[in-house]
Structure 1
Amino acid sequence: MKQLLYLSLAQQICKQIHSGVFTAGQRLPSVRVLAQQMNMSISTVLRAYQLVEDKGLIEARHKSGYYVSSDLITLQMQLEEQKPISPEWVTGSTLIVDLMANATKENFLQFSTAQPAEDIAANKEIKQNMLRILRDNHLILSINSELIGSLKLRQQLAYRLTRLGILASIENILITTGCQSAMMLCLKTFTRPGDVVAIATPAYYRILQLMEVLQLKVVEIPTHSFSGIDIPLLQKTLSEWSVKAVIVSPTVGNPLGESMSKESKQQLLTLIEEKNIPLIEDDAFADLSFEQPRPEPVKALDKKGMVWYCGTVSKTISPQLKVGWMVMGKHADRVIYQHSLMGITPPYLNQLTVAEYLSQDKYQKHIQHAILIYQQRYFQAVSLVKKHFPKNIKVSSPTGGFVLWIELPKHINATEIYFKAKQQGILITPGELFSVQTSQYKHCFRINFAQPWTEDRIKAMNWLGQYIERLDNQTIS
């Protein structure tokens, strides 16, 4: 528990620095004073300061205390103010095909896909559960799941969701093959080809692929790295365009890792209710929030059935299980009908395996362990960026999960870096994939810091930093 305390305190200090409570060069409260204020031990506060120092946000001065780093601006991320664009079609990208074709190849150092760490996966327990289920009922592979999913899994999810403030009946939970499938069901239910959907930008590129497949137009709403989707701009957009649905990730978004406050979530819900537009809540990374207890979803505030809540175990347990779910709102019968047409229920064995794992109450212990590891690896990632990358770059400050968004000077093309890095056996995700406007984030890229920082991965970060610096110097000269 003490470890959780100092990590939680470190996150609070980071938030205060990023929100401007403490500015570059300003002295922080002494270890003794902060310990008294927070009712913590001196060793806990000291450890928290050391973690923030490792992240590069503060520096210790001999016999003087801790100060906010003088070059703090190089490690801050705040998207520029943008105006929402007009609805646009999503066009296919051969770059996505190239990325996905190489994402599973073992000869690459993978920084690209948003996959959980292999060394902290629940593989052993999942395997034991799967073997036990097969031993107890060897005919299980011949049994089809119920249309809306395994009753046992829906019971376990209903219990877990109650702890998040979501009172969902087992009849209102639909099992899918993941968040993406759940969102597709929602979109097929509420939209028709040519309709407009509002999404936060930068947006997870697989969501944009959904829009392309369903022939939907997209209007992108800027996301701020510390407060989430720009609600005033969203409100303006909903007044100007006939938007049929809104997709957001209010807690630990992808790729910025941002989280909305409870007040902002309520404002978003109020707006959705006023406009009578369904809100599709992507909660894929939320269980990995560094903030504890875990922030409640928008769905927990929903009293009118306007929020369609989508979750998955792909980011927390294993992507191979292909198990996700949806808490349905109004018109659930229409969603179930679409579900029956698409036939995207995950294998029954996988559903029972996840249900068994959740019933053993091992999930929460696994999550707590994963959060600690990801926080430590995040601090290491930022330290490596600070050490090896040029000073004129910016990085996100994720509130959870395991992806980091890196913004380069606008004259540097991150897609060029992607192809050059691929030649070196390094795979990153270029920023142009995260918007319908491919030039919008052409100077950005996303990396995954979930895996251990082995010598090879550290060398890869060093190579990326040196190559980016060469590109920067060439442009300047």
Structure 2
Amino acid sequence: MRQLLYLSLAQQLCKQIHSGVFVAGQRLPSVRVLARQMNVSIATVLRAYQLVEDKGLIEAHHKSGYYVCHDLDALQAQQDEQKQISPEWVTGSALIVDLIANATKESFHQFSTAQPAIDVTANKIVKQNMLRLLRDNHLILSTNSELIGALKLRQQLAHRLTKVGILASVENILITTGCQSAMMLCLKAFTQPGDVVAIATPAYYRILQLMEVLQLKVIEIPTHKMSGIDIDLLQKAVDEWEIKAVIISPTVGNPLGESMPVENKQQLLALIEKKNIPLIEDDAFADLSFESTRPEPIKAQDKKGMVWYCGTVSKTINPQLKVGWLVMGNNANSVIYQHTLMGITPSQLNQLAIAEYFAQEKHQKCLQNTILTYQQRYHQLLSLIKKYFPKNINISSPTGGFVLWVELLDSTNTTELYFKAKQQGILITPGELFSVQPRYKNCFRINFAQPWTEERIAAIKKLGQLLYSL
């Protein structure tokens, strides 16, 4: 009910601003005053204000409260421009090649890749499982997995998925080499070259690469930091264009770290069911949610088989294991057929080692410790940003995971920042990679998974100095 209250209050505030009840530069009622006036909790008012701020209508002033933004006309023009959506081809970028080529080099302070810190994951336990499996069966390396994956792993996944509301049979779980390969299988089954796919923007650049490889057009739907993908604009897109699939990360998205409220997930599911469009749910970061209870996936409410649910251990254990899974929807045979054509499956050893890890009681405690560590490192990064970065920035408030989105409130070009930082041995991910449009050139993403050593702190300080110099 609280979510419905804050959404209703946010909508009311937006209407008042647009109608002139609150004018540019005016201070809004304090959180306590508005809570008393509306007879709601302080938490509800805070959430509503954050949602209105996310829409760009108000801004928070430190120790002063919330104020209506001064340049509402420019904001309205920007929002109107974002609403002009149409299919676009994805074209290759030399910048992506440069980033990927340097992403594994130890000579750089790596803030660019969305990879976990091995020191806080279950990597050690999985390695021990591998050694034990090899000792017990030295032929395991030459053993082929079943067509849709090792049965023991699928059994463990089916058990784990029930805890987040997904009831899946082992026959309906396909083991893949990760979320990207799961998405590729779905898209190859659902689409043909030239078809249109809707994605949230900013979008993880690897998804854009996938669109390019498959020769698909994309319609980019703006994402709000608090509420996720703009469902009204998605509705407009599916009404105007023949969209073959929708790809979304509704829980702990990448790069914003946003999580959709329950009612927004329900609206999205209702829309794709009505339009009979398959929804590919990328849940790569969801296990790292900072919330006390892991949010329920959209797939948990899917009664018609319209949602194809992708998961992976690449964010919680180790991307080098190359193990993911797909909980299939309707017409699963078409995806399994694509799987047989591609012939790419994780090693039997990796699958069984992960299955044993999931079967161990301590795996949930390991995950909780990992989440707590990332929360601590996130707050450490916030302190460093406050100390070393310019004040004219906005930063995301991730609901989990280990990446942060930084938006510069001026014309600073973060691609230029990328190359200058690279010369200093620092690697970030510039914002322009997250869209097919010339957007986000004033944004960048950084990874806070690794421990804050003196060297990494010095790198953040240097990055701040570069921001001041641009």
Give the alignment's TM-score, normalised by structure 1.
Answer: 0.83
Q: Which residue of 2 aligns with 1:238?
A: 238
Q: Which residue of 1 aligns with 2:458?
A: 459
Contact 1:27 1:68 (8 Å CA) reproduced: no
How far apart are 1:70 and its partner, in Å? 4.1
String of CA shifts for 1:189-215, please: whole Å, max 9, x gaps.
000000000000000000000000000
1:338-353 matches, within 5 Å, as 338-353=338-353
Number of equivalenced pairs: 413
Read off the aligned partner of 1:440 and give its amino acid letter: R
Read off the aligned partner of 2:105 and give its amino acid letter: K
Q: Which residue of 1 aligns with 2:104?
A: 104
Q: Which residue of 2 aligns with 1:90?
A: 90
Q: Distance in 1 between matches of 2:373 and 2:355?
A: 25
Mean Cα deviation higher: 125-134 or 303-312: 125-134
Q: Distance in 1 between matches of 2:378 and 2:165?
A: 29
SS at match of 1:256: coil
Read off the aligned partner of 2:457 and give its amino acid letter: I
String of CA shifts for 1:163-214, please: whole Å, max 9, x gaps.
1100000000000000000000000000000000000000000000000000
Q: Which residue of 2 aligns with 1:8?
A: none
Q: Distance in 1 between matches of 2:174 and 2:214?
A: 21
String of CA shifts for 1:117-166, please: whole Å, max 9, x gaps.
12212222111100111111111111100110000000000000011100
Contact 1:431 1:446 (8 Å CA) reproduced: yes
% identical equivalent positions: 74
Q: Which residue of 1 aligns with 2:130?
A: 130
Q: Which residue of 1 aligns with 2:185?
A: 185
Q: Which residue of 1 aligns with 2:335?
A: 335
CA pair 383-84 structure 1, distance change in 2 beyond 3 A: farther
Read off the aligned partner of 1:375 and give its amino acid letter: Q
Q: Distance in 1 between matches of 2:269 and 2:120?
A: 35
Say whether residues 1:448 and 2:447 are aligned partners: yes
How far apart are 1:309 and its partner, in Å? 0.1
SS at match of 1:376: helix
String of CA shifts for 1:413-459, please: whole Å, max 9, x gaps.
1000000000000000000100001x201111000001111111111
1:195-210 matches, within 5 Å, as 195-210=195-210
Q: What is the root-mean-square deviation in Å for CA atoms of aligned residues?
A: 2.3
Contact 2:118 2:318 (8 Å CA) reproduced: no
Mean Cα deviation higher: 136-145 or 171-180: 136-145
Contact 2:85 2:237 (8 Å CA) reproduced: no
Contact 1:24 1:69 (8 Å CA) reproduced: no
Read off the aligned partner of 1:456 and give its amino acid letter: E
Q: Which residue of 1 aligns with 2:467?
A: 468
Read off the aligned partner of 2:430 and give its amino acid letter: P
Q: Distance in 1 between matches of 2:111 and 2:84?
A: 30
Q: Distance in 1 between matches of 2:62 and 2:146?
A: 56
How far apart are 1:362 and its partner, in Å? 2.5
How far apart are 1:27 and its partner, in Å? 7.6
Q: Which residue of 1 aligns with 2:265?
A: 265
Say whether residues 1:374 and 2:374 are aligned partners: yes
How far apart are 1:248 and its partner, in Å? 0.3
Q: Distance in 1 between matches of 2:205 and 2:264?
A: 24
Q: Which residue of 2 aligns with 1:356?
A: 356
String of CA shifts for 1:218-275, please: whole Å, max 9, x gaps.
0000000111000010001000000000000000000000000111100000000000
How far apart are 1:343 and its partner, in Å? 1.1
CA pair 409-68 structure 1, distance change in 2 beyond 3 A: closer
Q: Distance in 1 between matches of 2:359 and 2:208?
A: 35
Contact 1:25 1:68 (8 Å CA) reproduced: no
Contact 1:84 1:222 (8 Å CA) reproduced: no
Q: Which residue of 1 aligns with 2:171?
A: 171
Q: Which 5+ residue runs of structure 2 have no aligned equivalent?
A: 1-6, 14-26, 34-40, 43-60, 68-74
Read off the aligned partner of 1:448 and give its amino acid letter: N
CA pair 104-256 structure 1, distance change in 2 beyond 3 A: same
SS at match of 2:83: coil
Q: Which 5+ residue runs of structure 1 have no aligned equivalent?
A: 1-14, 30-36, 39-66, 472-477
SS at match of 2:146: coil
Runs of 4+ in 1 over 3 A off after TM superposition: 23-29, 67-73, 78-81
Q: Which residue of 1 aligns with 2:45?
A: none
SS at match of 1:446: strand
